[in-house]
């Protein structure tokens, strides 16, 4: 697509999302924020962040979506500049080695980075040219100084070890544990072993806004506590059973429960949740696994309270029909096709869950689609959505 990608958000969410995007290195600081005619706010985002760092449309149109604008206004702080602080420092750094910052080298500089306190994580598509190798001992100190951090790392693709561990290599610094704060919740984790998904922030905000007073929640894919902690800290769940099979994520989850002073209201179940020895306990089950959590549906049904039922929050990547050029021009038409695809998947899930519950209990259950929420978009026609499905015995 042409133009500058922007995150359109309601004004009430703008500051929270701005802080999150900025801390992750996703915000295009060379552009100003724009208030649109409908009162929403457009936050400019780096192109590279959409692809490499997986920052896409968080939530549905009530919270945010990615839109493209031809020419958002440049920030007064950067208007007229040809390069930032990093480029200037590296230009001087190269000169000290008798080298010149050529256009090829300039293209090899990082365009975005994730920021975790005093640690910056660069993408894997930078500093790839041979000239950098001969000055590596001093290079990372120069880069960290320009970015205002003490530690530096680089990120590659997500590993295929079954745990979705990040491939992060430390370049500078003695350890790789970091602290990140979202919506007043403290997350500690090892960046070389655990993922932190900033793109899920609006779903975490939505979970935090739920009233789970007196409820028992099961988080089938807890990770480091992305949703477990909002349920405990803000939604005030009575107890959360957190299931996670990655031992590194479990270590971080334990630290995070203690850091947020909610350990006594959470039980961690380490291992494959399909082997979980737990049933008939949950008022809510969170199934936050993509591209599909369908393998966990039978477990979720087993966990719901048999007498009263509860709500399943089911995450899934839904593919909608490819949009034509006319659909792109007529924005409402493309949105309608997306929503029809989400609804079709939601209806399938509701029918499948009802069937699983009947097989499990021998009784008929009613399933009701309460809400469908878009969390992210991986492409114009692939969307990460969450279905809130109410399940009650008839």
Residue 132: Cβ-neighbour burial (10 angstroms; 0-12, 13-18, 19+): middle
In the chain, the percentage of residues whose pLDDT exceeds 70 is 83
Q: Which of 62-76, 112-126, 297-311 has the lowest mean pLDDT?
A: 62-76
Highest mean pLDDT among 28-32, 169-173, 216-220: 216-220
**What number of other Cβ atoms are within 10 A of residue 330's Cβ?**
13
Phi and psi torsions of 17, nearest 5°: -70, -35
**Residues in Cβ contact with 231 at an 8 Å cutoff, skipping those fewer than 6 apart:** 207, 210, 212, 217, 219, 237, 240, 284, 286
Whether the per-residue pLDDT at 2 is higher than 60: the answer is no
Highest mean pLDDT among 50-59, 143-152, 214-223: 214-223
Whether the per-residue pLDDT at 241 is higher than 70: the answer is yes
**Residues in Cβ contact with 285 at an 8 Å cutoff, skipping those fewer than 6 apart:** 217, 218, 219, 220, 300, 303, 304, 310, 311, 312, 313
pLDDT, position 242? 98
Residue 157 binned pLDDT confidence (cut-offs 50, 70, 90): low
pLDDT, position 76? 41
Per the prediction, the chain carries an average pLDDT of 84
Q: Can you say whether the dihedral through the CA atoms of 14, 19, 20, 25 is positive or negative?
A: positive
Whether the per-residue pLDDT at 274 is higher than 70: the answer is yes
82-175 fold: GMP Synthetase; Chain A, domain 3 (3.30.300)
Distance CA 147, CA 155 (A): 16
Region of residue 345 (left: phi > 0; alpha: psi -120 to 50; beta: else)? alpha
**Looking at the whole model, is its pTM more than 0.75?**
no
Report, as an integer, the average pLDDT of 276-305. 96
Residue 214 binned pLDDT confidence (cut-offs 50, 70, 90): very high
At residue 236, the 3 state secondary structure works out as: coil
Distance CA 85, CA 184 (A): 31
pLDDT digits 0-9 by tens, 306-362:
999 999 999 999 998 765 544 444 445 557 888 899 999 999 999 999 999 999 999
Alpha-helix runs per DSSP H in the chain:
11-23, 47-52, 85-96, 103-107, 136-147, 201-208, 228-233, 247-259, 297-303, 325-329, 331-361
Whether the per-residue pLDDT at 248 is higher than 70: the answer is yes
If one compares 165 and 209, the residue with the highest pLDDT of the two is 209
Distance CA 296, CA 314 (A): 10
Report, as an integer, the average pLDDT of 140-145. 93
pLDDT, position 177? 94
Distance CA 293, CA 351 (A): 16
Same fold, 82-175 and 196-393: no
Residues 341, 311, 298: CA angle, nearest 5 degrees: 80
If one compares 164 and 178, the residue with the highest pLDDT of the two is 178
**What number of other Cβ atoms are within 10 A of residue 270's Cβ?**
17
pLDDT, position 83? 39
pLDDT, position 199? 62
Residue with tokens 């990140």: 180
If one compares 78 and 284, the residue with the highest pLDDT of the two is 284
Distance CA 122, CA 238 (A): 40
Domain positions in the chain: 4-69, 82-175, 196-393
Whether the per-residue pLDDT at 42 is higher than 90: the answer is no
Q: Which of 132-141, 221-230, 318-327 has the lowest mean pLDDT?
A: 318-327
CATH H-level superfamily of 196-393: Vaccinia Virus protein VP39 (3.40.50.150)
CATH number of 4-69: 3.30.70
Q: Around 7, how many Cα atoms within 13 Å sit in the side-chain half-sphere?
A: 36
Residues 251, 55, 31: CA angle, nearest 5 degrees: 130
Distance CA 235, CA 212 (A): 5
pLDDT digits 0-9 by tens, 59-95:
333 345 677 776 555 454 433 232 378 888 999 999 9
Residue 48 binned pLDDT confidence (cut-offs 50, 70, 90): low
pLDDT, position 302? 97
pLDDT, position 137? 82
């Amino acid at each position: 697509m042409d133009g500058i990608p922007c995150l359109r958000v309601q004004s009430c969410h703008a500051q929270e999302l701005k802080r999150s995007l900025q801390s992750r290195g996703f915000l295009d600081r060379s552009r100003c924020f724009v208030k649109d005619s409908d009162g929403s706010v457009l936050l400019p985002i780096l192109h590279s962040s959409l692809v490499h760092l997986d920052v896409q449309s968080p939530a549905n149109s009530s919270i945010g979506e990615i839109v493209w604008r031809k020419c958002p206004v440049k920030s007064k702080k950067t208007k007229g500049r040809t390069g930032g602080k990093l480029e200037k420092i590296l230009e001087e750094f190269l000169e000290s080695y008798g080298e010149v910052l050529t256009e090829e080298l300039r293209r090899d500089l990082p365009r975005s980075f994730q920021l975790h306190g005093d640690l910056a994580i660069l993408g894997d598509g930078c500093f790839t040219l041979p000239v950098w190798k001969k000055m590596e001992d001093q290079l990372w100190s120069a880069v960290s100084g320009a970015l205002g951090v003490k530690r530096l790392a680089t990120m590659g693709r997500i590993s295929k070890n079954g745990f979705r561990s990040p491939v992060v290599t430390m370049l500078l610094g003695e350890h790789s544990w970091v602290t990140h704060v979202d919506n007043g919740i403290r997350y500690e984790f090892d960046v070389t072993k655990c993922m932190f998904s900033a793109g899920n922030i609006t779903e975490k905000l939505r979970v935090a806004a739920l009233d789970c007073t007196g409820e028992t929640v099961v988080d089938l894919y807890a990770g480091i506590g992305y949703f477990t902690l909002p349920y405990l800290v803000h939604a005030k769940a009575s107890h959360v059973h957190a299931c996670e099979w990655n031992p590194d994520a479990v270590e971080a989850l334990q630290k995070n429960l203690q850091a947020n002073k909610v350990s006594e209201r959470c039980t961690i179940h380490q291992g494959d949740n399909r082997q979980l020895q737990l049933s008939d306990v949950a008022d809510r089950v969170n199934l936050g696994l993509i591209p599909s959590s369908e393998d966990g549906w039978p477990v979720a049904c087993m966990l719901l309270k048999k007498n009263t039922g509860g709500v399943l929050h089911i995450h899934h990547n839904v593919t909608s029909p490819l949009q034509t050029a006319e659909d792109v021009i007529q924005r409402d038409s493309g949105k309608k096709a997306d929503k029809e695809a989400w609804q079709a998947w939601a209806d399938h899930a509701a029918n499948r869950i009802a069937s699983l519950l009947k097989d499990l209990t021998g009784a008929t259950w009613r399933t009701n689609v309460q809400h469908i929420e878009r969390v992210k978009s991986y492409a114009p026609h692939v969307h990460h959505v969450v279905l809130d499905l109410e399940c009650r015995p008839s």
